[in-house]
Amino acid sequence: FDQRDGEIWFDGVFIPWKDAKVHVLTHGLHYASSVFEGERAYGGEVFKLEEHTERLHMSADVLGFEIPYSAEVINAATKELLRRHNLVDAYIRPVAWRGSEMMGVSAQHNTIHLAIAAWEWPSYFKPEERLKGIRLDMADYRRPDPRTAPYKSKAAGLYMICTLSKHAAERKGYADALMLDWRGQVAEATGANVFFVKDGKLHTPTPDCFLDGITRRTVIGLARARGLEVIERAIMPEELSGFEQCFLTGTAAEVTPVSEIGPHNFQVGEISRVLMEDYTAAVQPKAAPRVAAAG
């Protein structure tokens, strides 16, 4: 992924993609002092850019460092990156980390870096494909207690158990894994939040030890706008067999129906379908969509 053409915004300037490198003694690499975002542009416009940038700043704040670029600078850089590279439907990855001046657990004065990369990312799945639903395994790792990890930060360190869980699920032929939390309650997938449907109502775990996704909040709003009741509560794995539908939400996942979690099967029903469509409509740019220039 590091040998592409194009540019990456790195500490305030656009540099060739291939040259956007860090030193091996970077604190962020050794001690996970790194935070990031995952954003998506539709029709040339980043969906909820301001909220993502705000969360990026907040994630850094939770890890005790300040990103030396304002929201205005970051948002303008993101838009400029898309414009310069004629990206219309794209994924955007801002990442901030502590640099390499000091090597040790403590690195109070290390430079804070910020890079923003973006690449073309059309919606992979055709709706018909997605409507089949994906299969989830149950993860062995659990979301940590908030006293163990700063869960409100979209911090690199919190993804160690996500990658382990996703790899384990993939090895068994599943698309992803459902993680429980430290109490044994249903939490989320490895990079997306989870919703269930029963008797026409939505049920989703209270985000008290995992990310309260921007997509999650958007979908809750869309569901309520349709008059659907959304119940945020503790959900136990024993309840899974009683739910009729299940779907994941996330910037990358959008609204993705789930057909199976371990031994439990779900239908891809009307509510999942409607929310998938409502989300697709919601992410469309407010202004006239930008079309890629020819050539």
**Contacts to ligand PMP by CB under 6 A:** 38, 162, 188, 191-193, 210-211, 213-216, 249-251
Where does the chain have alpha helices with state H?
27-31, 49-62, 71-84, 127-130, 160-171, 214-225, 270-282
Which neighbouring-strand residues pair with 193? 249
* 127-139 burial code (b ≥16 CB/10 A, e <16): eeebeebbbbbbb
Asked whether 191 and 165 are in contact (CB, 8 A), the reply is no
Six-digit token string for 56: 């990026």
Annotation marks residue 132 as catalytic: no
Q: Which is nearer to ligand PMP, 38 or 144 (CB)?
A: 38
CB of 207 to ligand PMP, least distance (A): 9
Minimum CB distance to ligand PMP smaller for 160 or for 236: 160
If the CB atoms of residues 153 and 245 are measured against ligand PMP, the closer one turns out to be: 153
Distance CA 144, CA 161 (A): 10
Cβ closest to ligand PMP, residue 7 vs residue 176? 176
Q: How far is the CB of 281 from ligand PMP (least distance, A)?
A: 17
Q: What proportions of the chain, in percent to the nearest 5, are helix, strand and coil?
A: 30, 30, 40
Q: Which is nearer to ligand PMP, 7 or 254 (CB)?
A: 254
Which candidate in 18, 48, 132, 154 is catalytic?
A: 154
C-beta of 188: minimal distance to ligand PMP in Å? 5
CB of 154 to ligand PMP, least distance (A): 6
Q: Where are the beta strands (DSSP E) in 169-280?
A: 176-181, 186-189, 193-198, 201-205, 230-233, 245-250, 254-261, 264-265
CB of 195 to ligand PMP, least distance (A): 12
C-alpha gyration radius of the chain: 20
Active site residue ranges: 154
